[in-house]
Amino acid sequence: DGDVYKYYADGEWKKSTSGKSVSIINPTTRKPQYKVQACSQEEVNKVMDSAKSAQKSWAKTPLWKRAELLHKAAAILKEHKAAIAECLVKEIAKPAKDAVTEVVRSGDLVSYCAEEGVRILGEGKFLVSDSFPGNERTKYCLTSKIPLGVILAIPPFNYPVNLAVSKIAPALIAGNSIVLKPPTQGAVAALHMVHCFHLAGFPKGLISCVTGKGSEIGDFLTMHPGVNCISFTGGDTGIAISKKAGMIPLQMELGGKDACIVLEDADLDLVAANIIKGGFSYSGQRCTAVKVVLVIESVADALVEKVNAKVAKLSVGAPEDDSDITPVVSESSANFIEGLVNDAKQKGATFCQEYKREGNLIWPLLLDNVRPDMRIAWEEPFGPVLPVIRINSVEEGIHHCNASNFGLQGCVFTKDINKAMLISDAMESGTIQINSAPARGPDHFPFQGIKDSGIGSQGITNSINMMTKIKTTVINLP
């Protein structure tokens, strides 16, 4: 069947022997756009075997050669930005310009990773024994970083390319092999990205990309004995994976309910601009999106007015037209968002705009006077709907932030840097941005969540380190 995109294994594009495929629904048209192979468990087993043997020789490939191939892949990726971006537009309704940005950012990430890898993996430590009580200087200890083996990479739909390469590139530079399971929405963009790595000439079996149904190969992949590390970005599934996975390192980036605390002295124009960017870019479908505004009552009216003026200017429509607000990824996602909106309505939230939905397209909506008994005060809509909670003290804001199950990022707006630092320390989140909306990038910054927001830390340097293990050799003198 020529219409079904092939999966990638052993350096070749293959049809699944299952004879089955999975349809990718275009969020805008709500019609099938592409089909990918529904790989079988048997095919996963084969991929794991190849990944294991390819990794053995890859680990012996000089570091500079690994870096060279990654630089080549990065350049090819950037050359193919238009074709890949087109898939992102059709599969996940990412606005056209943002789709191109995602691919370019991915190329930059791969190059940076190659450079960072040659530096941090190119050096180790030397320790002597006589610093520890009772020892003479008779033992010399040498450390180096060795790869973990086969890394299973599972990126989410919102960055199928960028959050795939943020796992692939650190894994490869560190001498690991990669098995990629892309999200269904975004799988074709991911396959195109893998093709760029194929063109760069990586050894056969080192990189594989299996597509298919989570119900068929999801648990099978994450519980597979051949996997030595899982790097996952997504939602609640990550919690389930962490419970089922074996004794292997896990890197998990899950949801967030990033709070934006606004103090009386904040520059409200700056806050409003950041709420728009942080809350509504890619229609709120980012784990680092601003997901609750906690504003001091005395400036709340003024802030809400400024945000509303900007919401009115957001264009709403198709991703092809580069609209600011585009359809959310699926009908079930749109229904979930609508459920949160209805709950807030019933419980008396103030609707700053009329709620409007056509298919998967939801118009941007600011909900004022949200109270803690409303679901939207705690749950992440992953859509263009943003709650505002008015607070009477900073402590109240910090308390709301810390009462959340999530702790990915947060932000605080004030001109008083001393206050900002104290609030940052008090907020139980992986990163606090002072006077800017939460964001993962630049991609070499550490990125981590606490509580249900994740395990471990990402960012280029941390990911490379996480995908290695320390190996020591001790020279014992007579």
Where does this chain bind ligand G3P (CB under 6 A)? 158-159, 286-288, 439-441
Determine the 3-state secondary structure of 103 from DSSP: helix
Token duo for residue 382 = 């992953």
Based on the residue annotation, tell me whether 229 is a catalytic residue of this protein. no
Return left, alpha or beta for 284; rule: phi > 0 is left, psi -120 to 50 is alpha, else beta: left
CB of 111 to ligand G3P, least distance (A): 17
Closest CA to 299 of 266, 251, 334, 333: 266
Catalytic residue among 43, 102, 116, 253: 253
CB of 255 to ligand G3P, least distance (A): 9
Identify any residues that bridge with 207 across adjacent strands, giving them in sequence order: 178
Output 377 or 439, the one with its CB closest to ligand G3P. 439
Output 109 or 344, the one with its CB closest to ligand G3P. 109
Output 181 or 286, the one with its CB closest to ligand G3P. 286
Percent composition of the chain: helix, strand, coil (DSSP 3-state, to 5) = 40, 25, 35
Q: Are 12 and 195 in contact (CB under 8 A)?
A: no
Based on the residue annotation, tell me whether 396 is a catalytic residue of this protein. no
One DSSP character per residue, 285-346 reads -STTSEEEEEEEHHHHHHHHHHHHHHHTT--BS-GGGT-SB---S-HHHHHHHHHHHHHHHH
Output 108 or 368, the one with its CB closest to ligand G3P. 108
CA-to-CA distance for 197 and 188, rounded, in angstroms?
14
CA-to-CA distance for 277 and 293, rounded, in angstroms?
13
Catalytic residue among 87, 196, 287, 352: 287
One DSSP character per residue, 143-170 reads EEEEE-SEEEEE--TTSTTHHHHHHHHH
CB of 87 to ligand G3P, least distance (A): 18
CA-to-CA distance for 448 and 462, rounded, in angstroms?
10
Q: Is the dihedral of CA 176, 179, 181, 187 positive or negative?
A: positive
Output 116 or 253, the one with its CB closest to ligand G3P. 253
Output 307 or 439, the one with its CB closest to ligand G3P. 439
Output 164 or 334, the one with its CB closest to ligand G3P. 164
Burial of 410 per CB tally in 10 Å (0-12, 13-18, 19+): buried
CB of 226 to ligand G3P, least distance (A): 27
CB of 409 to ligand G3P, least distance (A): 8
CB of 137 to ligand G3P, least distance (A): 47
Closest CA to 287 of 427, 456, 158, 411: 158
CB of 105 to ligand G3P, least distance (A): 8
Output 205 or 449, the one with its CB closest to ligand G3P. 449
| Contact residues for 141 (Cβ-Cβ < 8 A; gap 6+) | 125, 126, 127, 128, 129, 472, 473, 474, 475
Type of residue found at 29: T
Give how far the C-alpha of residue 111 lies from the chain's centroid of Cα atoms, to the nearest Å: 19
CA-to-CA distance for 223 and 441, rounded, in angstroms?
31
CA-to-CA distance for 259 and 289, rounded, in angstroms?
9
CB of 159 to ligand G3P, least distance (A): 6
**What residues act catalytically?**
253, 287
